[in-house]
């Protein structure tokens, strides 16, 4: 019996918990000097430390500490005056030391919150997601299981290990449980991750590319009967690689849990893996038996005791909060709510702002990025930022139109040319011969030609039947290959015919 989402929320209340792992964009790894660039040849960004060679020792990357504190501050957390790294002990082939250095019971930041806003039928609604902790840890290497049907370790013919990722600094941001979202749980989860991503991006501490794994979200979901006090058993969904997937994963898990509970079965406490293609999750590691990681303070490192004055310097250096920035820009640009939402959804805020900074009118800038440019991006299945057109280009196009050198229609061709790599807008305009014909003698010649070709139509206009002018204007536009400003042609034509 499969349930609809509406049926689920009539009976159950979802409780969320979100764990987000963020890869910091520090130049070097968490505990050694190795490079962190994404996509390098396997095992080329390694050294004795991140390979777990005998005798090698970790040293904390100070930049990673700074980034973690910035994150904590931006999430309204308190920065703890004393925090420590611990060892999380377990064996896995892609973990060089067979323990992970991670903060455990003494994290660097605690007790914060993020306010998120979602659109509902009753208008915008705010939710506060409370943050339990922000802590630092190192990433593991990557296993590639070759052969076998599933791409998993079991059944594989052999496995390859890449330690480039081993030791990349990670910050884990853990929320407290988030009750009270009701039917909006999937949207709140998505909005939270989106907000977090925006905050992290504004801090410049991470690339926050979900598709590259630099921002990973584990969504914990449990259900309880509406009105019940005790929490239900939760599942922890991993492999959620896009904002849309966060929403789908939460919704999917809510339905799956409800179906189990309705059948009188129990929800198994386990990790689940989100499947991008089906939107469903499949069972992963059971967490019924709590694993014993035998945590103890990392004896190779000293405690992290950030200087209070330094923390204050970092606090005042925080950039404008994304929510406040959005509100400010919406006001400055006088954007209606719906369009603002569209712009945020399309991830176009930064790029539009940059275009405005290069002198473009905000409405025009937004129009180009969300209109023609988005259309081309969709066609090519890339993001607008990936196209070969920049805010400078768009600002130039807006200026060309404003000066009457391009019509909107011609400007679209310029956009196309710039994206095709033909050069800067003015160059494309010149080489494609798209400049508006404003030489009036040339226009007059074309008008004379049109009148000569259609004397009867011209006569009609002369005698006051203005709508007939359309045919003549059309002929002029045809002759000038559309490069004339139609409004000006009309003016000249009517004047010429005594109207």
Partner 1 sequence: MITRSAHEMATALEAGDTTSEKLTQEHLDRIAAVDGDVHAFLYVDTEGALSQARGVDARRQSGEKVGPLAGVPLALKDVMVQHGVPTTAGSKILEGWRPPYDATVVAKLKQAGIVILGKTNMDEFAMGSSTENSAYGPTHNPWDLSRIPGGSGGGSSASLAAFEAPLAIGTDTGGSIRQPAAVTGTVGVKPTYGGVSRYGLIAFSSSLDQAGPCARTVLDAALLHEVIAGHDARDATSIDAPVPQVVKAAREGNVKGMKIGVVKELNGDGYQAGVRSRFEESLELLANEGAEIVEVSCPNFEYALAAYYLIAPSECSSNLARFDAMRYGLRVGDADGASAESVMNFTREVGFGREVKRRIILGTYALSSGYYDAYYGSAQKVRTLIMDDFKRAFNSADVLVSPTCPTTAFKIGEKANDPLAMYLNDIATIPVNMAGIGGMSLPCGLAPEDGLPVGFQIMAPAMQDQRMYSAAAALEASLLTKWGAPLLSQIPALGGSK
Shortest separation between residue 28's beta carbon and partner 1, angstroms = 13
Shortest separation between residue 30's beta carbon and partner 1, angstroms = 12
Residue closer to partner 1 by CB (options 89, 242) is: 89
Residue closer to partner 1 by CB (options 292, 331) is: 292
170 burial (CB, 10 Å; 0-12 / 13-18 / 19+) is: buried
Residue closer to partner 1 by CB (options 142, 201) is: 142
d(C-alpha 85, C-alpha 106), whole Å: 8
Shortest separation between residue 203's beta carbon and partner 1, angstroms = 26
Residue closer to partner 1 by CB (options 91, 211) is: 91
CB 491 within 8 A of CB 466: no
Instruction: Kindly report the length of the chain.
Output: 499
Shortest separation between residue 101's beta carbon and partner 1, angstroms = 11
CB 326 within 8 A of CB 355: no
Shortest separation between residue 1's beta carbon and partner 1, angstroms = 39
Shortest separation between residue 118's beta carbon and partner 1, angstroms = 39
CB 9 within 8 A of CB 224: no
Shortest separation between residue 67's beta carbon and partner 1, angstroms = 19
Shortest separation between residue 313's beta carbon and partner 1, angstroms = 23
d(C-alpha 356, C-alpha 407), whole Å: 20
Closest by Cα among 209, 196, 83, 181 to 131: 196
Could you give phi then psi for residue 207, rounded to 5 degrees? -75, -15
DSSP 289: S
Shortest separation between residue 99's beta carbon and partner 1, angstroms = 5
Could you give phi then psi for residue 366, rounded to 5 degrees? -60, -45
Shortest separation between residue 269's beta carbon and partner 1, angstroms = 17
Shortest separation between residue 82's beta carbon and partner 1, angstroms = 16
234 burial (CB, 10 Å; 0-12 / 13-18 / 19+) is: buried
Three-class SS of residue 313? helix
Residue closer to partner 1 by CB (options 82, 466) is: 82
Residues near partner 1 (CB under 8 A): 48, 51-60, 87, 89, 91, 93, 96-99, 153, 159, 161, 290, 292, 294-296, 299-302
* End-to-end CA gap in the chain: 75
Residue closer to partner 1 by CB (options 294, 427) is: 294
In angstroms, the Cα distances linking 115 to 163, 178, 190, 339 are: 37, 12, 13, 21
Residue closer to partner 1 by CB (options 148, 362) is: 148
d(C-alpha 472, C-alpha 490), whole Å: 9
Angle at 243 between CA 185 and CA 164, to 5 degrees: 130
Give the DSSP per-residue string, 160-216: EEE-SSTT-EEEEEEE--B---GGGHHHHHHHHHHHHHHHHHHHTS----GGGTSEE
CB 287 within 8 A of CB 270: yes
Which tokens go with 293?
A: 């990681």
Residue closer to partner 1 by CB (options 96, 417) is: 96
Residue closer to partner 1 by CB (options 143, 426) is: 143
For residue 472, give the H/E element and its range: helix 469-479
CB 31 within 8 A of CB 167: yes
Residue closer to partner 1 by CB (options 113, 295) is: 295
For residue 33, give the H/E element and its range: none
Residue closer to partner 1 by CB (options 98, 150) is: 98
């Amino acid at each position: 019996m499969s349930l609809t989402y509406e049926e689920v929320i009539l009976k159950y209340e979802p409780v969320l918990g979100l764990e987000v792992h963020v890869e910091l964009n520090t130049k070097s790894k968490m505990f050694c000097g190795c490079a962190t660039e994404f996509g390098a040849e396997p095992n080329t960004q390694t050294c004795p430390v991140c390979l777990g060679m005998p005798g090698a020792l970790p040293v904390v990357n100070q930049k990673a500490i700074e980034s973690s504190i910035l994150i904590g501050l931006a999430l309204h957390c308190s920065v703890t005056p004393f925090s420590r790294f611990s060892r999380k002990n377990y064996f896995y082939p892609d973990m060089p030391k067979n323990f992970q250095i991670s903060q455990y019971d003494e994290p660097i930041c605690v007790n914060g919150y993020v306010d998120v806003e979602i659109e509902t039928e009753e208008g915008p609604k705010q939710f506060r997601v409370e943050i339990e902790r922000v802590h630092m840890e190192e990433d593991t290497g990557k296993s590639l299981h070759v052969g076998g049907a599933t791409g998993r370790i079991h059944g594989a013919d052999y496995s390859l290990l890449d330690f480039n990722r081993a030791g990349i600094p990670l910050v884990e941001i853990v929320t407290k449980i988030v009750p009270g979202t009701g039917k909006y749980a999937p949207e709140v989860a998505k909005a939270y991750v989106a907000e977090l991503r925006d905050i992290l991006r504004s801090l410049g501490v991470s690339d926050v590319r979900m598709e590259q794994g630099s921002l990973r979200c584990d969504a914990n979901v449990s259900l309880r009967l509406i009105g019940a006090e005790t929490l239900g058993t939760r599942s922890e969904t991993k492999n959620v690689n896009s904002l849309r997937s966060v929403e789908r994963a939460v919704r999917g898990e809510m339905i799956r849990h409800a179906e189990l509970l309705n059948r009188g079965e129990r929800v198994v406490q386990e990790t689940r893996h989100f499947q991008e293609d089906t939107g469903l999750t499949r069972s992963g590691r059971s967490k019924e038996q709590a694993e014993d990681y035998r945590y103890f303070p990392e004896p190779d490192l000293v405690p992290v005791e950030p200087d209070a004055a330094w923390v204050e310097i970092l606090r005042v250096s925080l950039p404008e909060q994304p929510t406040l920035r959005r509100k400010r820009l919406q006001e400055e640009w006088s954007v209606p709510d719906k369009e603002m939402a569209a712009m945020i959804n399309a991830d176009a805020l930064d790029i539009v702002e940059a275009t405005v900074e290069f002198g473009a009118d905000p409405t025009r800038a937004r129009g180009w990025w969300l209109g023609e440019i988005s259309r081309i991006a969709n066609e090519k299945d890339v993001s607008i930022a990936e196209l070969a057109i920049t805010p400078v280009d768009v600002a130039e196009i807006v200026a060309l139109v404003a000066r009457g050198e391009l019509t909107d229609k011609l400007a679209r061709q310029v956009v196309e040319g710039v994206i095709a790599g033909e050069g800067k807008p003015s160059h494309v305009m010149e080489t494609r011969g798209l400049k508006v014909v404003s030489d009036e003698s040339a226009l007059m010649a074309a008008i004379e030609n049109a009148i000569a070709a259609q004397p009867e139509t011209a006569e009609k206009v002369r005698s006051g039947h203005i709508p007939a002018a359309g045919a003549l204007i059309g002929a002029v536009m045809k002759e000038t290959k559309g490069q004339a400003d139609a409004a000006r042609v009309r003016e000249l034509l009517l004047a010429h015919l005594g109207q």
